Structure 1
Amino acid sequence: MIFENLETVDGLIKSVHSILFVLLPIADMVYEVLYKGVPVREAMQELTAKLI
């Protein structure tokens, strides 16, 4: 699967959440970094805390 731009990532994440009703912590982290300006280090720390 190839992502061409940020809009594709946004659409993919929203589609998966709405169709499958699954938790995607890594995809959520990518969304937070790309669209909400969350620093990568902060997002990784939050992700690590959720997964441990």
Structure 2
Amino acid sequence: MDAVQAANSGHPGTPMALAALGWTVFTKLRKHDPASPEWADRDRFILS
């Protein structure tokens, strides 16, 4: 959001619309076990 505002270009609608989706995937759908960080079958979340 700050980058869009600072550049005075772009459209902030898409990042805002997808924020809820990203939160849901990160907190509700991914498979992970904080006690076993080396678990080979864990899901990875890459935000780029």
TM-score (norm 1): 0.27
Larger helix percent: 1
TM-score (norm 2): 0.29
* Larger gyration radius, structure 1 or structure 2: 2
